[in-house]
Amino acid sequence: MHTSTPGVSQIGGPQYEKIVDEKFLNSNSDVYRLESFRSTGTVSSSSSSQLRCYFIAKVVFPNPEPTPEQCRDIKAVSDESFMNRATENTIAIYQRVINNALVRTGPVIEAFGVDGSQEKRLVIGYKRGTTQNFFSALSDLYHYYDLYSTRKYVEQFSNGITIVSLYLNRLADSKQPPIDHTITQVLKEASLIYCLPTTPLQGFFKTNELSVQETIYGYIGWIFAQHFLNRLGSEFSTLLKILDRSNPAHAEVISKIKKRLRQETFTRDYILDIIKSYPELIKLLYVNFAMVHYIVPEENSLRPTLSYQRIRTETVMTEEELLAKIRKDTSNAHECMVLESFLTFNKHVLKTNFYQPTKVAISFRMNPDFLPTIEYSNKLYGMFFIIGSEFRGFHLRFRDVARGGIRVIRSRNREAYSINLRSLFDENYALAATQQRKNKDIPEGGSKGTILLDNDKQDKASVAFEKYVDAILDLLIIGQSPGIKEKIVDLHGKPEILFFGPDEGTADFMDWASSHARERGPRSGRPSPPASPKPLGASPMISLA
């Protein structure tokens, strides 16, 4: 129990809901349910603070291992305390959410009115263990829109589904749009929170300096800059011309110098500090991204700057104007390079699921032309960039039709993770290039995918793989899942087929990938006839079209 001002996040003080997440709701062993209530009165006549109470209980399921048939029956998978107090309306709503959550990889998010009041009820169902710190992140989300909750519930079911239910009201002095419009915004943005509940830029979101889209865009740009910021400079190009790369000794020197320049010039923390110094530029860069990839609802005839993604500026700059402003506002060349990398990212995104409401990870189909030929002499044909709450990953291929495996990369400790992080893209590129050479005698080119597990998510290989596959499918089966997936902007404009095969850490996951691809769309998961005899010893491939 603690004092709580409606609509205010717990900034600087004890963040109780984050503690609840970390101690109970993130648990990999025990399962807990939660009820939370806000008092109707204030703690005193001179204070606007109310009391907020949390009741947390360990769940004991009467039927801990339901059959497939029982999994779809809420009465067979509930704990007794839920069934004893839930109304028929709640049971009906939860039953529908459970049915949808069982067949989706991503969250099920719905909103309902509450009879006799302006209050809105937000219900979110998802597979337990597929996101972390989600409960506390949701509070930050609705607080951003001047909403506060009167009641909150987290219910658990033995079929592996978690349901969060929030009762939301508008602050009396809010200047936000009508609550129905705001709830629509929250519905859309809850999927972003589900994918990335916390980021190093979270503080800007809590203080209303950046919206959730701007915050997550900034985080994605940070990751992009870590891998692709051009840090080697003209001196390295001159060195390459002098040395003989076919000479093993020279090649080793070149490799060591490249690693040192990348590691020591721009560390992850240094890049992050620069991004944090320029939130206003991140806003403008996000607008540049959104104006290409956000599809305005048909009822809006104008391309709005105040839509659900909360672009709070009417300034829409061209690439040239943005570049000039970055160079004017930044203090030195390093800061300029970091922020210019955001423009590079924007310019080379061909399609993304960033605005999809049911995504489980955020994926981008990139045009790989931004890669410097001095480092990557063999030009890539296709590049996917995927970010989830447990991992980051790539899928690279050298031809339109290319075969190769998906590898999960684990790290023994934080130091090993740092090394794997720095070398992730280069390793992926080298593996794909090796596969390309192996496939030189067959029509298919070479490809490879990598999934780097975050340092504290080494036990999440299966979850990360499933999110990786589903996020890529979002960009391959555009418009083939009516009612679930929304339209996306496709600057690539051509159908793509990817062939996924087993590699280190993924051999046991391929059956799931094939069946899931079939479920997602009529063109996915369907094996293509081989264009040439399969080489002796080659692994069976899964086609995801």
CA-CA distance, 99 to 104, in Å (whole number)?
Answer: 9
User: CA nearest 6: which of 118, 147, 137?
Assistant: 147
Spatial distance between the Cα atoms of 170 and 148, rounded to a whole number of angstroms: 6
Class of residue 147 by CB neighbours under 10 A (exposed 0-12, middle 13-18, buried 19+): buried
Report in angstroms the alpha-carbon separations of 375 from 395, 396, 441, 446, 484: 18, 16, 26, 19, 41
**Closest residue by Cα to residue 208 from 502, 6, 7, 43:** 7
Pairing of strands 161-170, 445-453: unpaired
Region of 12 on the Ramachandran plot (φ > 0 left; ψ -120 to 50 alpha; else beta)? left
Give every CB contact of residue 542 below 8 A, 6+ residues apart in sequence: 499, 500, 501, 510, 513, 514, 517, 525, 527
Quote the tokens at residue 91: 């049971």
Largest CA distance in the chain: 82
Q: What are phi and psi of 302, to 5 degrees?
A: -105, 155
Spell out the SS3 assignment of 413-464: CHHHHHHHHHHHHHHHHHHHHHHHHHCCCCCCEEEEEEEEECCCCCCCHHHH
Q: Letter for the amino acid at 386?
A: I
- Alpha-carbon torsion angle 483, 486, 490, 493, nearest 10: 10
- Cα gap 421→425, rounded to integer Å: 8
Catalytic residue among 18, 152, 448, 457: 448
Of 6, 1, 16, nearest in space to 142 by CA: 6
What order of strands is seen across the sheet that includes strand 2-4? Answer: 2-4, 50-58, 32-42, 147-156, 161-170, 120-127, 108-113
Six-digit token string for 391 = 């991992």
Angle between helices 279-293 and 212-228 (to 10 degrees): 100
Alpha carbon 447 to chain centroid distance?
A: 23
Concerning whether 448 is annotated as a catalytic residue, the answer is: yes
Closest CA to 361 of 97, 130, 110, 129: 130
Angle at 335 between CA 331 and CA 339, to 5 degrees: 125
Q: Where are the alpha helices (DSSP H) in 243-299?
A: 248-265, 268-276, 279-293
Query: 217 and 286 in contact (C-beta within 8 Å)?
Result: yes
- In angstroms and rounded to an integer, the radius of gyration of the C-alpha atoms of the chain is 25
Cα 207 from Cα 473, distance rounded (Å): 35
- List, by residue number, the catalytic residues: 448
